[in-house]
Structure 1
C-alpha cells in the first residue's frame, strides 16, 4: 500500500494545537501516512502563542503532497487578499491533491479561489466576516466540517480532529478510523454541529437536557422512534423537545436520527456480511430501498458500492 503524504502549511500566527492535529491523527498510521510540515519560505514560523516553531521544509514540499492541510492562524492576520508568499506557495500544489482547512484556514482557500461556488465552513464566530468577504462561497457555519470531495473545510479547534478522522475513515474504513480515535482518546465522530458550541444559556435543570433521550435512541435505533416517542421519553412537549434538541445538537431530531441510522448502517456494511434488507431493519429504516435512498443522499453511493470500497479498505488494515 502506497504511503499517503500529508503536507501541513504553517502560516505566521498559526495555532499550535491545530498545527499538531495532523501529526497526531495521521501519525498513528505511519505505514499509511507520512506527515511533513512546511512554511512559505522554509524558515521558522511565529505562532499565536509566546513561541515560534522551526519546520523542516519549505514550500517545495507542497508539490509532493497527496493532501495539503492548512491549520488556522490568528484572526488579526486575516486579509481578504492572499499575501504574495502564500499565493506562491499554494501555486506549487499539484493538480489532484486533496486540500483541507481548519478554522481560519478556510479564508486562505477562499482568497485563493478554491471555494468559489462550493460549500464550506469555518468557525461560527467568523461566519459574518467570511460571508462579507466571500459571498460566492456557500458557507454553512452550523456543521463541524464539509467534505466536498477534493476540498474539505472544518470549523474551529477540535473539529480539525473530526475532519482528520473523517479522512482516515474515507481512506481506510471505519475500523481503522475507530482504532485511531481510540489511540487519540477521542470519539470516532461527534454528534451535531457547531450550533451546540455557540454560547447560550445553560439549562439550570439537568432534566431539561435531551442527552439521556439521545442515548436511549441510539440503543433503540431499530425502532421507528417518532418525535412524539422521543419527546415522551424526555418528558417534554413536542415543541420544547424540538427546540431544546436543536439548541444542544445543532440539528433537528429527525435529521439527527437519519444521520445515526446511516452511520450505523455504514458500520454494518463494513464489518458484517448482512444483506441490505437486514441492515435496514437493524438500523430502523423501513425497507432496504429506504436505506439505499438515505445512504445515497448522504454519501452519493449505493450500499453495494460502499461495501465494496470500504469493506476492502477495512479488511486490508
Structure 2
C-alpha cells in the first residue's frame, strides 16, 4: 500500500538496490531489476550479491559472479531476492541465506520475484502478511506457510515495506511499480518504453493460469477495451461495453475476466486512476477538471479513489511528483555542459 509518508523525493544520490542471488538462481529474473530500474534516468544504483560473495550456480547451466560482497546489503535502500529453481526449494531457508538477510538494516524495503518469496517466507518476513508467488508453486507455498495470506491471482503484492511478485516476467511489473511509487507514473512509463514492455499489464496472474481452451466462436474484448480507453470521460456502463463487443453482458463479463484477470469495472477503475495520475503529474488541470476528464462526477470521487488505492490525496500526489520532476530538471540543467556557439 502506498502511503503519504512513503513518498520519496528525488535526491542527487541514486537509491541503492541490492539483488540477492542464491544457488540455482534464474538468470532471466536476476537481470530484471538492473534492466528495468536501470532505465529510470540514473535514479537507482543496482548491484548484485550472493549470500557469501562467491559465484552462484544458475539453473541455466552456468555460474554468475556477483560484483559485490554480502556486506553491501547493509547499505541497501531496497533488497530484491531473485528466484531459484523450485527443485531446490526447502521449507527452511539455507543458513547462508538467513545470514545474508540478517545483514539488512531495519526499515529497508524488501522484495522478491517469483520463488524468491519462499526465501522471505522461510525467514519469517512474510508472517501473517499478504503475498504472492508463481501460481504453479502456490499449493506448496500454502502447505509450508499456511499462516501467510497467499494470493496467486495477482502479478505482485505491495504490503508497504515488503513486496512479492509472481512468476518470471512479473518481476518487470514489480520493478515498474517501484519506479511509479518512488518517482511517479511518467518516469515509470518512460522506463517501460525504453525496455519495450507495457507500463502496466491488465489484470493479474490469473489470466496465465491454465484453463480449458475457449470455444472457437468466442470473440476477444480487446477492441472494446481500446474503444473504452478513448472514452474514459464517459460513464461506460457494462451494457454499453457488451453492446460494443456484440455480446451479452454475461458472455462479455466472463470473456473479459478470462482475458484480463479482472472485471470490467475493476479494469476501468485502474485505467482511470492511471490517467488521473498522469494528468496530475503533467498538466495544470484542476482536480475537478481531471475528475471530469476520467468520467467522475465530482473531485470527491477522485479523492476517495486515490485515498483508497494509494493512501494519498490528489493534491499531495501532485505536490510530491511535480516537485520531484522539477528538482530532477534543475539537476539536469546544472550538470548539462554549456552549449558552444
Q: TM-score range by the shorter chain?
A: over 0.9
TM-aligned CA deviation for residue 42 of structure 1 = 1.1
Separation (CA, whole Å) in 1 of partners of 2:250 and 2:55: 54
Separation (CA, whole Å) in 1 of partners of 2:185 and 2:41: 18
Is residue 284 of structure 2 the alignment partner of residue 284 of structure 1?
no
What does residue 49 of structure 1 align with? 60
Cα deviation per residue 1:59-106 (whole Å; 9 max; x = unaligned)? Answer: 211111111011111001111111111111100001111111000011
Decide whether the 8 Å contact of 1:145 with 1:153 is kept in 2: yes
Cα deviation per residue 1:205-231 (whole Å; 9 max; x = unaligned)? Answer: 486111111111111111100011111
What's the C-alpha RMSD, in Å, of the aligned pairs?
1.4
What does residue 336 of structure 2 align with? none
Distance 1:29 1:291, change over 3 A: closer
Cα deviation per residue 1:251-273 (whole Å; 9 max; x = unaligned)? Answer: 11111111111111111111111
Separation (CA, whole Å) in 1 of partners of 2:281 and 2:193: 18
Query: Per the alignment, in what secondary structure is the counterpart of residue 153 of structure 1?
Result: strand
What does residue 205 of structure 2 align with? 194
Query: Per the alignment, in what secondary structure is the counterpart of residue 82 of structure 1?
Result: coil
TM-aligned CA deviation for residue 28 of structure 1 = 2.5
Query: Per the alignment, in what secondary structure is the counterpart of residue 277 of structure 1?
Result: helix
Separation (CA, whole Å) in 1 of partners of 2:130 and 2:271: 22
Query: Per the alignment, in what secondary structure is the counterpart of residue 284 of structure 1?
Result: coil
Q: Residue 143 of structure 2 is aligned with which of 132, 139, 155?
A: 132
Query: Per the alignment, in what secondary structure is the counterpart of residue 168 of structure 2?
Result: coil
TM-score, structure 1 normalization = 0.96
Unaligned runs of 5+ in 1: none
What does residue 313 of structure 2 align with? 302
Is residue 250 of structure 2 the alignment partner of residue 233 of structure 1?
no
Separation (CA, whole Å) in 1 of partners of 2:325 and 2:159: 23
Is residue 165 of structure 2 the alignment partner of residue 116 of structure 1?
no
Separation (CA, whole Å) in 2 of partners of 1:102 and 1:233: 38
What does residue 331 of structure 2 align with? none
Decide whether the 8 Å contact of 2:40 with 2:179 is kept in 1: no
Unaligned runs of 5+ in 2: 1-11, 329-341
TM-aligned CA deviation for residue 117 of structure 1 = 1.8
What does residue 339 of structure 2 align with? none
What does residue 166 of structure 2 align with? 155
Question: What is the number of residues matched between the two proteins?
Answer: 317
Cα deviation per residue 1:39-70 (whole Å; 9 max; x = unaligned)? Answer: 11111100011111111222211111111011
Separation (CA, whole Å) in 1 of partners of 2:261 and 2:38: 31
Alignment of 1:206-217 (within 5 A): 208-217=219-228
Alignment of 1:9-158 (within 5 A): 9-29=20-40, 31-158=42-169
Q: Residue 233 of structure 2 is aligned with which of 191, 199, 222?
A: 222
Separation (CA, whole Å) in 1 of partners of 2:230 and 2:214: 25
Which fold has the larger relative contact order, with Cα–Cα distance below 8 Å and residues 6 or more apart in sequence?
A: 2
Distance 1:230 1:30, change over 3 A: closer
What does residue 293 of structure 1 align with? 304
What does residue 4 of structure 2 align with? none
What does residue 6 of structure 2 align with? none
Separation (CA, whole Å) in 2 of partners of 1:206 and 1:297: 39
